Amino acid sequence: MTAPILEVSDLGKRYIIQHEAQHQGTLRDTLHQGARQLWRRLRGRDRFEKEEFWALSDINFAVQPGEVIGIIGRNGAGKSTLLKCLSRITEPTRGQITLRGRVASLLEVGTGFHPELSGRENIYLNGSILGMTRAEIRKKFDEIVAFAEVEKFLDTPVKRYSSGMYVRLAFAVAAHLEPEILIVDEVLAVGDMQFQEKCLGKMQDVSRGQGRTVLFVSHNLGYVRQLCPRAILLDRGKIVADSDTSEVLKVFSSKTVVPPHVQGAPKGPRITDIAVDPELLEHGDIAISIAFESPYVIQKPYTGITILNELGHPVLGTDTSSDPINDLKPSQGGTFRLLLKAPPLASGRYQINAWLGQNGRGEDDHWPSAREFHFPGHRIRPPQFSTELAGSIDIGGHWTLL
Amino acid sequence: MSTHSQTPTLSSNAASATSHELVIEAGRSERHYYLDLWRYRELLGFLAWRDIMVRYKQAALGVAWAIIQPVIQVTLLTFVFGKLAGMPDGGVPYPLIVICGTLAWQFFATAFSGAGQSLVSNTNLISKVYFPRLVIPMAALGVALVDFAITLALALPVILLLGPGIGWQLACLPLFILLGLLISLGAGLWIAALTVRFRDFRFITPFLMQVGVFVTPVGFRTDILPGWQSLLALNPLAGLVDGVRWCLLGGHTQLYLPGLGISLIVTAALLLSGLWYFRRVERQFADII
């Protein structure tokens, strides 16, 4: 067995949050704070309150040459910090990273592009910033231009490019990097659908065809599933799961903590609880109850929900305006109940967004990702019919051969 | 961060794709830093080239900017020092003394302010890509070199026309250009690193410039002030200005060697301390910029 191309052991990154000095950015502030600190110390008081924040801690993993690994996690889980440590932009506080190969990191599309320079000039500049040599860029130049489809505008300053052209050119340069280890952060989320597909294809070439080692961060779980056989799940700076992507995605969706509900106006009507009836769910029906309370009597209480699939795409929605309640009474609290009888949804994980209000306007409270549930579906779809491929609706079909 | 055990692999692509082991650890960035800097020399070239292109593309007047400012300054300084203050010219037409002084000063001013602002104006690079950060202030010197070349090309005919003639001393000019680059880099590194840490250092540069043009012998020759020469030389720019004047006026001004020595020592101190401070705060740049 060969040595891992990338080894991370006991990695930690600490940031220090200063509470009292919020803007420590100017000399004046620093002098001011220094003087106060000195004064406090002279009087024997505490020093300024500093809070340590470990953006990453106890990170351990190894990557074999040719592996393609997805790194997933919610916002603030430490994905970007990890990539920044790996690509040497910021220094770790603890631990060690061993890299056995040339690394290129792509944390942003078009880093260093200058609007005044022409497309041709920017290809050289950006390529060099990303770590290509002049000779390499020259060799790949035609390929890059062809991929970006900007032949006609090579000598136009990129400030006159459409945003689509700009992004295409930027991605094209990056896609032609030839490092042994490629670190990519959320860069596929650019351009139109067609170009995204093209980028995805290029990424697949890079990883499968050319045997490159790739670390790939994305919020789009569909891309992660498609590109990466293995995934690492980060949560609050720690590795929670590191295994086959499908396993990790399961952990991810079960682990997804319900975000703490930020209440609506402090003294206004608010949603107090949302529940999905587990028994009915087993039978293929979805019953959602939304409990609410209000400091005053609401004349026409109003609520609504949308259901999102595991990719975060909305699949259906309903509210009490489109499907009115017959005997709506003024109320100061209570529980709405919604029954979705045998919805034609495929088996999978779904999320509920809910809102509350009055007179047909849901302005009093909004609770995104309030609950998550697993819908059994009417049948198990074959594994290649993933949500990103076949969508969330599964109504079957009648095939015949004529 | 260090690179060792270089074993070239039989990689099909890119000759530079040598496989090397790189260990990233807290506080380990010291070793091999300058080797890394050498590896990134092409990026240095590209960044300098970018700055030059942008400077001359963006400005509608283009090259004119490199000229208008010095011409006005020469006129003003000639008037103030030559006419109002009546400083002795020592047999050289007074405008020439000022032209040479201004050439040197303008070179320093462009290089220094460019290097000083370079980190802040390249924030996006610093937070998204790794390379030895020294590349950025060094690349900023490129613009100053090109500006200097243009102004020199325009000033030379005037110097030949009005001046007492040039001599072998002109061959020493590159040495003084190098001195100017080192002074600018030393001072620029301090300002660049301090500006990242404390944004208000941005406002210090124009102030330093205003004071500098008077404490530097831009508008007068130092060999007519024997008592002051050593004191003036504490400002390394005095050595630079004197040197450039000596080169361009064919030795018709004197080069005060002890003063030049002092200037060189101060330059070395400035550069080394600048490098030290820059390297010390460099690893936090991405976190605080």
Q: Do B94 and B117 belong together in one domain?
A: yes
What is the pLDDT at residue A184? 85
Give the CA angle between residues A36, A38, A41 to the nearest 5°.
110
Q: Which residue has the higher pLDDT, A43 or A134?
A: A134
Is 50 exceeded by the pLDDT of residue B13? no
Q: Which domain holds residue B20?
A: 1-29
CB contact under 8 A, A91 and B24: yes
Alpha-carbon distance A13 to B286, whole Å? 13
pLDDT tens digit string along B205-259?
Answer: 888 888 888 888 888 888 777 777 778 888 899 999 989 988 988 877 778 888 8
User: Chain A contacts of B1, Cβ < 8 Å?
Assistant: 88
Shortest alpha-carbon distance between residue A87 and chain B (Å): 7
Q: Do B58 and B97 belong together in one domain?
A: yes
Q: What DSSP state is assigned to residue A317? A: E
CB contact under 8 A, A91 and B283: yes
Is 80 exceeded by the pLDDT of residue A45? no
Whether residue B35 is contained in a domain is answered as: no
Residue A69 Cα distances to A148, A212, A260, B7, angstroms: 26, 11, 30, 26
CB atoms closer than 10 angstroms to residue A149: 15
User: Chain A contacts of B49, Cβ < 8 Å?
Assistant: 125
Least confident piece of the model among A178-187, A193-202, B201-210: A193-202
User: Chain A contacts of B54, Cβ < 8 Å?
Assistant: 114, 116-117
Whether residue B34 is contained in a domain is answered as: no
Look at residues A279, A272, A336, A274 and name the one whose alpha carbon lies nearest to residue A302.
Answer: A336
- Radius of gyration of chain A from its Cα atoms, rounded to whole angstroms: 26
CB contact under 8 A, A111 and B42: no
Q: Hey, what are A239's tokens?
A: 């590795």
CB atoms closer than 10 angstroms to residue B224: 15
Whether residue B232 is contained in a domain is answered as: yes
What is the pLDDT at residue B57? 76
Q: What's the mean pLDDT in A194-198?
A: 74
Q: Is A349 on the interface with B (CB under 8 A)?
A: no
- Return the SS3 of A351: strand
Shortest alpha-carbon distance between residue A107 and chain B (Å): 6
Residue B42 Cα distances to A127, A128, A137, angstroms: 11, 7, 12
Q: What's the mean pLDDT in A287-300?
A: 89
Count Cβ atoms within 10 A of the Cβ of residue A284 and give its class: 0-12 exposed, 13-18 middle, 19 or more buried: middle
Whether residue B11 is contained in a domain is answered as: yes
What residues are paired with A15 via a beta bridge? A53
Nearest C-alpha in A relative to B202: A26
Identify whether the C-beta of residue B101 lies closer than 8 Å to the C-beta of residue B217: yes
User: Chain B contacts of A17, Cβ < 8 Å?
Assistant: none
Compare CB distances from B198 to A26, A99, A121 and report the shortest one's residue.
A26
Whether residue B172 is contained in a domain is answered as: yes
Q: Is B19 on the interface with A (CB under 8 A)?
A: yes
- How many beta-carbon pairs below 8 A join chains A and B? 120
Is 90 exceeded by the pLDDT of residue B176? yes
Total domains, chain B: 2
Is 80 exceeded by the pLDDT of residue B32? no
Which residue in A28, A54, A129 has the most chain B C-beta atoms within 10 A of its own C-beta, making it the best mutation to test that interface?
A: A129
Q: Do B89 and B160 belong together in one domain?
A: yes
CB contact under 8 A, B50 and A92: no
CB contact under 8 A, B129 and A107: yes
Least confident piece of the model among A69-73, A380-384, B54-58: A380-384
pLDDT tens digit string along B144-172?
Answer: 999 899 889 888 888 888 877 788 888 89
CB atoms closer than 10 angstroms to residue B183: 25
Q: Hey, what are A140's tokens?
A: 């790949």
- Return the SS3 of B90: coil
CB atoms closer than 10 angstroms to residue B272: 11
Q: Is B57 on the interface with A (CB under 8 A)?
A: yes
Q: Do B12 and B53 belong together in one domain?
A: no
Least confident piece of the model among A361-370, B36-45, B55-64: B55-64
Q: Hey, what are A174's tokens?
A: 């990056």
Q: Which residue has the higher pLDDT, A134 or B286?
A: A134
What is the pLDDT at residue B31? 67
What is the pLDDT at residue A306? 93
Q: Which is it for the CA torsion A190, A192, A195, A199, positive or negative?
A: positive
Identify whether the C-beta of residue B205 lies closer than 8 Å to the C-beta of residue B112: yes
Nearest C-alpha in A relative to B198: A26
Residue whose structure tokens are 């990103």? A388
Question: Torsion-angle region of residue A199: left (phi > 0), alpha (psi -120 to 50) or beta?
Answer: alpha
pLDDT tens digit string along B185-194?
Answer: 999 999 999 9
The answer for residues whose C-beta is within 8 angstroms of residue B236's C-beta and 6 or more apart is B179, B183, B263, B264, B266, B267, B270
Q: Is B129 on the interface with A (CB under 8 A)?
A: yes
Residue whose structure tokens are 């076949």? A390
Q: Is B21 on the interface with A (CB under 8 A)?
A: yes
CB contact under 8 A, A114 and B50: yes
Q: Do B181 and B73 belong together in one domain?
A: yes
Alpha-carbon distance B175 to A261, whole Å? 69
Which residue in B24, B197, B280, B285 has the most chain A C-beta atoms within 10 A of its own C-beta, making it the best mutation to test that interface?
A: B24
Alpha-carbon distance B29 to A117, whole Å? 33
Mutual angle of helices B41-58 and A119-129, in 10-degree steps:
150
Q: Do B65 and B159 belong together in one domain?
A: yes
Q: What's the mean pLDDT in B83-94?
A: 80
- Return the SS3 of A356: strand
Half-sphere exposure in the Cβ direction for B240 (13 Å, CA): 27
pLDDT tens digit string along A58-103?
Answer: 999 999 988 889 998 877 788 888 998 998 888 888 898 998 888 8
Q: Is A160 on the interface with B (CB under 8 A)?
A: no
- Torsion angle, alpha carbons of A111, A115, A117, A122, to 10: 20
What is the pLDDT at residue A227? 83
Q: Do B48 and B13 belong together in one domain?
A: no
User: Chain A contacts of B56, Cβ < 8 Å?
Assistant: none
Is 70 exceeded by the pLDDT of residue B139? yes
Look at residues B198, B214, B175, B177 and name the one whose alpha carbon lies nearest to residue B80.
Answer: B214
CB contact under 8 A, B287 and A96: no
Q: Is B200 on the interface with A (CB under 8 A)?
A: yes
CB contact under 8 A, A133 and B43: no
Nearest C-alpha in B relative to A138: B14
Is 80 exceeded by the pLDDT of residue B136? yes
Q: Is B59 on the interface with A (CB under 8 A)?
A: no
Is 50 exceeded by the pLDDT of residue A264? no
User: Chain A contacts of B25, Cβ < 8 Å?
Assistant: 92, 95-97
What is the pLDDT at residue A189? 59
Is 60 exceeded by the pLDDT of residue A258? no
Strand boundaries in chain B, DSSP class E: 2-7, 19-25
Q: Do B106 and B185 belong together in one domain?
A: yes
What is the pLDDT at residue B1? 36
Q: Which residue has the higher pLDDT, B35 or B64?
A: B35
Shortest alpha-carbon distance between residue A29 and chain B (Å): 9
Alpha-carbon distance A67 to A86, whole Å? 16
pLDDT tens digit string along A302-332?
Answer: 999 999 988 888 899 999 988 889 888 888 8
Q: Is B6 on the interface with A (CB under 8 A)?
A: no
Alpha-carbon distance A211 to A205, whole Å? 9
Q: Is B18 on the interface with A (CB under 8 A)?
A: yes
Q: Which helix (H) or strand (E) holds B263?
A: helix B257-282
What is the pLDDT at residue B60? 61
ipTM: 0.81
* Amino acid identity, position A54: W
What is the pLDDT at residue A41? 59
Alpha-carbon distance B34 to A384, whole Å? 52
CB atoms closer than 10 angstroms to residue B65: 15
Whether residue B5 is contained in a domain is answered as: yes
Q: Do B14 and B48 belong together in one domain?
A: no
Q: Is B2 on the interface with A (CB under 8 A)?
A: no
Q: Is A28 on the interface with B (CB under 8 A)?
A: yes
Q: Is A287 on the interface with B (CB under 8 A)?
A: no
Q: Is B43 on the interface with A (CB under 8 A)?
A: yes
Look at residues A76, A101, A77, A97 and name the one whose alpha carbon lies nearest to residue A88.
Answer: A97
Mean pLDDT of chain A: 82
User: Chain B contacts of A94, Cβ < 8 Å?
Assistant: 26
The answer for residues whose C-beta is within 8 angstroms of residue B261's C-beta and 6 or more apart is B233
What is the pLDDT at residue B251? 76
CB contact under 8 A, B50 and A117: yes
* Amino acid identity, position A357: G
Compare CB distances from A27 to B16, B29, B200 and report the shortest one's residue.
B200
Q: Do B8 and B131 belong together in one domain?
A: no
Q: Do B79 and B173 belong together in one domain?
A: yes
CB contact under 8 A, A102 and B42: no
Compare CB distances from A84 to B19, B25, B286 and report the shortest one's residue.
B286
Q: Hey, what are A294's tokens?
A: 């209000």
User: Chain A contacts of B190, Cβ < 8 Å?
Assistant: none
Which residue in B2, B129, B190 has the most chain A C-beta atoms within 10 A of its own C-beta, making it the best mutation to test that interface?
A: B129
**pLDDT band at residue B15 using 50, 70 and 90 as cut-offs:** very low
Mean pLDDT of chain B: 83
Half-sphere exposure in the Cβ direction for B145 (13 Å, CA): 19
Q: What's the mean pLDDT in B11-19?
A: 37
Q: Do B4 and B137 belong together in one domain?
A: no
Is 70 exceeded by the pLDDT of residue B17? no
Q: Hey, what are B81's tokens?
A: 């020092």
- Return the SS3 of B244: helix
Alpha-carbon distance B271 to B269, whole Å? 6
